[in-house]
Amino acid sequence: MRAVFRLALLQARRDRGTLAAWILGIAGLGYAAATAVTTQFGEDNERAALISVAAASPAFLFLRGLPDGISSGAVTFFQGYSFTAVLAGLMSAFLVVRHTRGDEDQGRFELVGSTRVTRVSSLYATLLLGTCANVVLALAVAAGFIGAGLPAQGSFLAGMAVGAVGLFFMAAAALVAQAMPSARSANGTAAALVGAAYLVRGAGDALGTADQSLLHVTAAWPSLLSPIGWGQRIRPFTEADMLPLLVIGAGTAVLAGVAVALRRSRDLGASYIAANESGPDRAGAGLASMLGLAWRLQRGGLASWCIISAALGAVAGGLGPVVRDALEGNPSVAELMSRIVPGDAGLIDLFTTAMLGISGVLAAAAGVEAVLRLRAEEAEGRAELLLAVPASRLRWLGGTLAVAAITTTAVAASAGASAAVVLALSQAGGSGPGTVLAAALAHIPAALVFPAVTALVFALASRWSSAVGWGALAVALVLGQFGELLGLPTWLQDLSPFRHSSAMPVEAFDPEGALLMAVVAITASAAAARLVRERDLAA
């Protein structure tokens, strides 16, 4: 037991900066959302107007969650819960993979495993650290809510609802780490699970039933498949219910137990999903250049990203008509909807637009991830081997950046194509396939800004590239989702590249914004190419 505590302290020591940033960031987001609600929507009638519009808009329900009354707490929880829960899940998943499969990859585990500890001591330590992190996170979120003036009891419950989701994905990631052969694949799978939990909850909420007052929506069954959906059912600011907390806790315990059992019976470095151990003894013609290498390293990831975004596109195209049909059964919703967006197609378009907005974020994330391979190549020493040949750093960076741009484009295109096909097959109306595809492609210029900026940071100071790359995406997301709610000044909101994307098909295509973003992306890329020659390669 002592060994477990010592290992947990060691892991906490390694993680202190990272975890502090995550926890403060998530709690800060909660605080900002709560402050926005209490200041911007101070009156009951203002909140009632907001909630009833949301209740009648499936896109809103999909992205945010379930409206549940008009108290400041309830409105905050509706606005902010899904996002904070996703962030808590990601924080916990990355934490666990870092200390389990990540340490095995790097060979550190062997060193620790040779001391007087059991095979599972380190996993216990990681679960202990993850639990502590989520308890602190729950308290921090609660403190943020209370600080913004929300009732204390509800704030604590809301914090627990966030922390519980974190705990669930901590255990899920522990299981994933046993199964996957590398930290990279484990992180990807765990993050995809978090994303899936969000999407499944979104589908359940979008298909939910609004009551006559349009102030409460009850989720449909898919929400029960998602821990985020369960967390939402705690309803901390209205009729608090602890049962969902028990359900999440039970799920966490089962997953963690299985992960421990698997770790106990597994060889060090082995995985239940085995990676290919052998392959061709000769390189194909494609692997003869920096560009070829970049493509080879990225193509697997590219395929995964495209599958995810195609799935999102299918939801975008397929769910719209279903949602519309469901809404038509509720006369008060239909009445409100017809006032907000006239016409049938309007509702579907609204939904498609919101969904394709997410695909733009996915496209940006895929591009950032592709560029960050440069950082891994450098930090792990492969760049040294690669740059000792007669090829310039420019070609090295350029090859990866080109592949990142292809990745971003392909991810956006596959979301658009899949949405267009599914929507056309449903014959439910809405925009034509060409317009839907164009709507997805319209996000590409803004999405490209993120890999370009990541490359620029890599060229200047590579060890910051990961933090700045992902941080910029997170900030843009928050600005986009919460900027108006928070009443932020326009110039600040305009910092987010996505603000310059056209929200097609609801809006018309704005060539100016797209051109501006393309220029920013190209300028940042050119600066990166210029500056990468100017610094020492990291040892």
Considering the rule CB under 8 A, would residue 424 count as an interface residue with another protein? no
What is the rounded distance in angstroms from the CA atom of residue 347 to the CA atom of residue 409? 27
Among 118, 212, 289, 523, interactor with another protein by CB under 8 A: 289
CB-based contact 239:157 (threshold 8 Å): no
**218-222 long-range contacts, CB within 8 A, separation 24+:** 218/66, 219/66
**Which CB atom, from 300 or from 343, has the smaller least distance to another protein?**
300
What is the rounded distance in angstroms from the CA atom of residue 248 to the CA atom of residue 245? 5
What is the rounded distance in angstroms from the CA atom of residue 392 to the CA atom of residue 386? 10
Q: Of 226, 225, 459, 217, which Cα lies nearest the Cα of 332?
A: 217
What is the rounded distance in angstroms from the CA atom of residue 34 to the CA atom of residue 318? 33
CB-based contact 246:227 (threshold 8 Å): no
Nearest-approach distance from CB 146 to another protein, in angstroms: 43
Considering the rule CB under 8 A, would residue 297 count as an interface residue with another protein? yes
Among 288, 340, 515, 526, interactor with another protein by CB under 8 A: 288
Binding mask 162-191 for another protein (x = CB under 8 A): --------------------x---------
What is the rounded distance in angstroms from the CA atom of residue 308 to the CA atom of residue 192? 8
Among 110, 380, 484, 494, interactor with another protein by CB under 8 A: 380
Question: Which positions from 223 through 252 interact with another protein, judged by CB under 8 A?
Answer: none
Considering the rule CB under 8 A, would residue 278 count as an interface residue with another protein? yes
Nearest-approach distance from CB 386 to another protein, in angstroms: 7
Within 329-443, where are the H helices? Answer: 331-340, 344-379, 382-386, 393-426, 433-441
**Which CB atom, from 99 or from 393, has the smaller least distance to another protein?**
393
Considering the rule CB under 8 A, would residue 303 count as an interface residue with another protein? no
Amino acid at 276: N
**Which CB atom, from 42 or from 269, has the smaller least distance to another protein?**
269
What is the rounded distance in angstroms from the CA atom of residue 94 to the CA atom of residue 146? 28
Nearest-approach distance from CB 399 to another protein, in angstroms: 11
Considering the rule CB under 8 A, would residue 325 count as an interface residue with another protein? no
**Which CB atom, from 267 or from 536, has the smaller least distance to another protein?**
536
Nearest-approach distance from CB 372 to another protein, in angstroms: 15
**Which CB atom, from 43 or from 277, has the smaller least distance to another protein?**
277
Among 112, 258, 387, 438, interactor with another protein by CB under 8 A: 387
What is the rounded distance in angstroms from the CA atom of residue 214 to the CA atom of residue 56? 7
> Applying CB under 8 A, what is the total number of residues that bind another protein?
34
**Which CB atom, from 257 or from 300, has the smaller least distance to another protein?**
300
Amino acid at 238: T
Among 296, 429, 471, 518, interactor with another protein by CB under 8 A: 296
Nearest-approach distance from CB 226 to another protein, in angstroms: 32
Exposed / middle / buried, residue 107 (Cβ in 10 Å: 0-12, 13-18, 19+): exposed
**Which CB atom, from 264 or from 463, has the smaller least distance to another protein?**
463
Among 1, 116, 508, 539, interactor with another protein by CB under 8 A: 539
Considering the rule CB under 8 A, would residue 270 count as an interface residue with another protein? no
Nearest-approach distance from CB 280 to another protein, in angstroms: 6
Q: Of 367, 347, 508, which Cα lies nearest the Cα of 442?
A: 508
What is the rounded distance in angstroms from the CA atom of residue 255 to the CA atom of residue 263? 12
Nearest-approach distance from CB 185 to another protein, in angstroms: 10
Considering the rule CB under 8 A, would residue 300 count as an interface residue with another protein? yes
Q: What is the dihedral angle through the alpha carbons of 354, 358, 363, 365, rounded to the nearest 10 degrees?
A: 150
Q: Return the residue matching tokens 């062997």.
A: 110
Nearest-approach distance from CB 286 to another protein, in angstroms: 10
Nearest-approach distance from CB 175 to another protein, in angstroms: 22
Applying CB under 8 A, the span of 250-258, 275-283, 347-355, 495-503 interacting with another protein comes to: 275-283
Among 273, 287, 340, 492, interactor with another protein by CB under 8 A: 287
In degrees, rounded to 5, the angle at the alpha carbon of residue 44 between the alpha carbons of residues 40 and 50 is: 60
What is the rounded distance in angstroms from the CA atom of residue 43 to the CA atom of residue 38? 9
Q: Of 462, 471, 498, which Cα lies nearest the Cα of 371?
A: 462
Considering the rule CB under 8 A, would residue 461 count as an interface residue with another protein? no
As a whole number of angstroms, the longest Cα–Cα distance in the chain is 72
Residues that bind another protein (CB under 8 A): 182, 275-283, 287-290, 293, 296-297, 300, 380-382, 384-393, 536-537, 539
